[in-house]
Amino acid sequence: MVKIKVGKLSARRQRMNRPDHNEILERKQICMNALLNRPWVDKEKNAEIYYWIKEQYFEIRDWFIEYTGYTLIMNRNFAKLNKFPEKSFPWMGFQEFREPLDYALFTYSLWYLESKNEGEQFLLTQLVVDIRQYMVEQEMNVDWGNYYHRLSMARALKKLKNLNVIRAVDGEEANWASNHEYHDVLYESTLYSRYILRNFNAELSSYINIDTFNETKTYSNETTGVNVQNRHELYRRILLEPILLDYQWSGDPVYLKQELNLLIRNIGEMFGWQGSRYKEGIFLFESNTITESEVFPTQLALSDLALLVCGEVRKMVINSESNLEVDINGLLTLTKNEIERILIRLKSSFSEFWTNEHKKKSSSELAEQICNHLEEWGFGYWEDHIFFVLNGAAGRWEVEYGLAEQDD
């Protein structure tokens, strides 16, 4: 009979189970990317990452405080990074929402949930009655007899479910939206309702515009305070925006030049991203093909067409006969008609690779769709809906179709 001792691991066994430096670094990068890209890391659903964050909590917390000013919340249920953009863009909203009313009802639903305890159940019919009454007091009108208002409410509730703020015990909000007189939904509140909205330093009514929402910390006017403010603004923009070019930086240009090399090394170590310095600005690339971030080019065929257009423009700029001029900031202005002509040429050469949807679209529709896609990813912007201004980042792409080799 063999006796088995149950107790602490031996020192040798502990050393064997201890992760090496590379594994610790990889875990840290996974944690950093998860915190940056997710609303929170749930212990129940992502226990492994949750405990990795817990193991490296102090290092991760201190890094975010020092370089971004973000705070890290860690409790027995989840880990959450309180992040917010330095500059706000339309694409930062909820992609599922279609109307401003969706956001309003999402927020008023959170107001309603403030009075609910974790695990407390409530009916959708009672929620909409209380929300409407409160909105009327705030001189806002919502009519549940209006089908489109009910659709907005359904989208808000669906988003709350996806965020695990509420759970549907019985019923579906889509059925209620179709016929609110014959359908109801039973929900259950979770602890996450307390952690959705940010805390602000002042009453919301005191803020002048959306950009002032980011004034969550007061910096001193001394050199140290100015440097901290510059650092926080720079890292927030680098981490949350797809592209940051030099001309887009509103802070101290001397500080930006001094910090670039350190920033690239710092981001590389903590997130595993690769950074390159070009004359237009810093470009960061995800070195891992399996990433939590949305990256460009996307899986959409529209990204392929956008890259083709950028590559064609690059060739035209190199060709002195095109008369295209790039200004000191690397900006190039094209008319919508010029982009349409580029697409017509590309279509005649490569239409066999295009989707049927893009083949059938008019050059005008396709040009607008591609430019909107490029604007969303920070490669340019519309000017008076007639001119599209491409920046230096767009000129760094040169692509072409080719046959992919496949192993037998």
- Cα 95 to Cα 75: distance, rounded to the nearest angstrom: 29
CA 78 to chain centre: 20
The whole-angstrom separation of Cα 265 and Cα 256 is 14
Q: pLDDT below 50 — which residues of the chain? A: 1-15, 406, 408
Task: State residue 209's pLDDT score.
Answer: 73
Q: What's the distance, Cα to Cα, between the start and end of the chain in Å? A: 55
Q: Is the dihedral of CA 207, 213, 217, 222 positive or negative?
A: negative
Q: Which residues contact 201 (CB under 8 A, 6 or more apart)?
A: 215, 216
The residue count for the chain: 408
* Residue 17, pLDDT score: 61
Q: Please report, for the chain, the start and end positions of each structural domain, with discontinuous segments joined by +.
A: 18-82, 91-195, 221-286, 301-396
The pLDDT score that the predictor gives to residue 7 is 43
Residue 128 phi, psi dihedral angles, 5° rounding: -70, -30
User: Do the domains at 91-195 and 301-396 have one common CATH topology?
Assistant: yes
Amino acid at 78: F
Q: What angle do CA 258, 259, 263 make, to 5 degrees?
A: 155
**Predicted pLDDT at 1:** 44
The torsion angle over the Cα atoms of residues 291, 282, 238 and 259, rounded to 10 degrees, is 130
pLDDT at 91: 84
Q: Please give the Cα distance from 325 to 351 (Å, whole number).
A: 29
Return the CATH fold of 301-396: Arc Repressor Mutant, subunit A (1.10.10)
pTM of the model: 0.84
Q: Return the pLDDT at 408.
A: 45
5: Cα separation from own chain's centroid: 51
Sign of CA dihedral 317, 323, 328, 331: negative
Rg (CA), the chain: 26
Residue with tokens 């309603």: 112
**What is the predicted pLDDT for the residue at 341?**
94
**CATH architecture of the domain formed by 91-195:** Orthogonal Bundle (1.10)
Segment 197-206, tens digit of pLDDT:
777 777 777 7
Is-contact 214 86, C-beta < 8 A? yes
Tokens, residue 209: 């515009």
Separation of alpha carbons 124 and 142, rounded Å:
15
d(CA 119, CA 126): 17
Q: What per-residue confidence (pLDDT) applies to 8?
A: 47
Distance CA 277, CA 284 (A): 9
> What H or E segment, with its residue span, contains residue 113?
helix 100-113
Backbone angles phi, psi at 295, to 5 degrees: -125, 160
Under 8 Å between Cβ of 350 and 344: no
**Chain Cα centroid distance, residue 153:** 23
pLDDT at 216: 63
Q: What is the phi/psi pair of residue 263, to 5°?
A: -60, -45
Closest CA to 371 of 349, 402, 394, 397: 394
Check residue 257 and give its pLDDT: 85
